[in-house]
Amino acid sequence: MKTHRLLFLVLLASCLKISSYAQPATKQLIDSLKRELGNNLTKAQKAKVYGDLSWYYNAVSLDSAFRYGDEALKIAREIHDQKLIAQSLSDLGAIYFIKGEIDQSLELYNQSLDIRKTENDEEGIASLNFKIGGAYFKKSELEKAMSHYLEALRYYEQIKNENVIANLHSNVAVVYTALHNYSKALDYLKMAETYFQQQNLYAPLANVTLSMGNVYYALLDTAKAQDSYEKTIDVAKKGLNFLAEASAYNNLGQIYTDLGQHKLAVDYIQKSLEIRIREKLESDVASSNITLAINYAKLRNFSKSKSLLLTSLNYFQQTGGGEKITSIYYQLIAAYAGLGEVDSVFHYMNLYKKNQSAELDNKVIEVSNELETKYQTEKKEQQIEILNQETAIQKLRLRQRGLLLLAAMAVLVSGSILVFFVFKQRRLKAEARLQQEINTQQEKATRDVLDAEERERRRIASDLHDGVGQTLSAALLNLNYLYKTIAEGKTPDPQVMDNARGLVKDSYQEMRSISHQMMPNALLKAGLATSIKEFLDAIDGKNIQVDLNVSGLADRLDQQLETVLYRAVQEAVNNVVKHAQATRLTIQLMKDEEGISVTIEDNGRGFDPSGIDYAEGIGLKNIRSRVGLLQGSVEVDAAPGRGTVVVIYIPA
């Protein structure tokens, strides 16, 4: 049965588990092994049968697999058969892997590996390197995963086992994908795809096409990603690879979530859940429920969204999953906001902030520790990250220009239709003059917004160059010095290493700050009131007392309306902080059936509204331009020595 077990090992390393009712051949093998137990067997023979039963039962019943695996290990230790002990430990480790208990799986794998090394069992060592690589990948320890995969690959290339080589190529590609080296990932996947297609091995081929879809999705090539996932579903059904089929459905659901096609997304995710629930894949079910909850929230079914999120939260709190828990907290804020349960909104908002802060601290510590031993890898990852950030900024600029152009075109068309129906033929001359005036005002408003956006882009570019760029340059100088010191065989200077770590941390924090200024996460995910509160919390409370009052904003507003109001409040508050010399600032947000109003009032030194500085002031000019695009109004009440009141009103 060793030949069968080797093939199944390859599939297991790719996290594949076949359903029992879809595998009659597996049932026949189990029945045959049970009948064999009735024969007069030696203890060694009985232990081997128990081991085989454990192996094949992990595709049918994990409880039975554990029971037979424990029996095999017990007898193997009783008769002191080291190879049998190693095999039993490996089989039990594979069961823990399927169950998702990766640390326990690794412990058993490493115990088995120690015995294999003592016995000089090269084939056993290679198979364990394959398994251990998969376990480390599950733990996101990518360098360890790659190291073990390559150790296994060297052995199987020596013995020319093309089947296992192709599976290893597939797994190596998955690691490269996680490292954002997409060209390398595609190279390995295409080699694996060629072999599996030639051999008509549909189950592992489905894993390959699924991984290809993931690479294209990471490259933002949605069309190719969709094609790959659709192909995966077709191939997976032929190969009875239900895990790959479920993942393809789930990933298609994620794509449609990103595209805003939420009903279609729900359909695909539910197809994935049917399989994952049937296969008892609890971790995958909990992850899919999060995505499903996001879509239900978008469809305004907040009760269903809340129920799914709380179920997933309970699972990840029991099994551990920091990033997942943080994500769930964030989605629960939106769900409870939609339900109007304010206390729960603030409860999960506090939990989200605490978890987010803890995760950030852990990430900074991880980066700092890895700088000492993985300089080359970190250098490449930093270069890739910088390129990704530059690409993201460029795409954001293009998206802003496109949206602005569409908005201007929409206003022009609306204005033209309105004028046509109101004045018609009898007032053609008056219509022409009015249209010309409208066009002039629209052009002026558009120029003002474009000027504001251009100033914003210049500021961001300056921040990146003068802040992040200079800090990273300094970090690179320190790292180059450390590299030279290590290359010369000298002991690295701890002070230089501390400087490098500090500079990288400063760069990371400044990049987060810049991206938040471009579009705060709270505005994108939780809404206007939350984003303004987060912005105001960052103001130094020692110099100025800030009060925020919100009324009627339980539901989300139109995204463009939220963005305009946030930028207007941001501009007005910055003017107060910089120029007003105020000790108290009050902001009121009120929404009713007629529209939404924002009042910003301070007790500062005020100014003369008739003065030239007021008429030409960039801050108020920006506010009027933005609000004007939404047919809103801006009123200012100010006088020297008695503070300033700015009232923004946008009709419903």
What average pLDDT values come out for the chain (652 residues) when binned by 10 residues? Answer: 34 38 64 83 88 81 86 90 90 87 92 92 90 89 90 89 88 87 91 91 90 90 92 91 91 91 92 89 87 90 90 83 80 86 83 67 45 48 60 62 57 50 57 64 58 59 60 72 81 80 74 60 68 81 86 82 85 86 91 90 85 56 79 87 90 84
In this structure, are residues 478 and 499 in contact, taking their beta carbons and an 8 Å threshold?
yes
pLDDT at 562: 84
CA 137 to chain centre: 17
pLDDT at 20: 35
Q: Pull the structure tokens for residue 497.
A: 């290493």
pLDDT at 248: 93
pLDDT at 16: 37
pLDDT at 326: 84
pLDDT at 8: 33
Amino acid identity at 216: Y
pTM of this prediction exceeds 0.75: no
CA 552 to chain centre: 32
pLDDT at 321: 66
Residues 6+ apart with CB under 8 A from 213: 224, 225, 226, 227, 228, 229, 232, 248, 251
Q: From CA 359, how far away is CA 367, in angstroms rounded? A: 12
Specify the DSSP class assigned to residue 490.
P
Instruction: Tell me the CA distances in angstroms from 243 to 190, 274, 308, one per residue in order.
Output: 21, 11, 21
Number of residues assigned to the chain: 652
Specify the DSSP class assigned to residue 593.
S
CA 132 to chain centre: 25
Q: Which candidate, 175, 501, 478, places its Cα nearest to that of 363?
A: 501
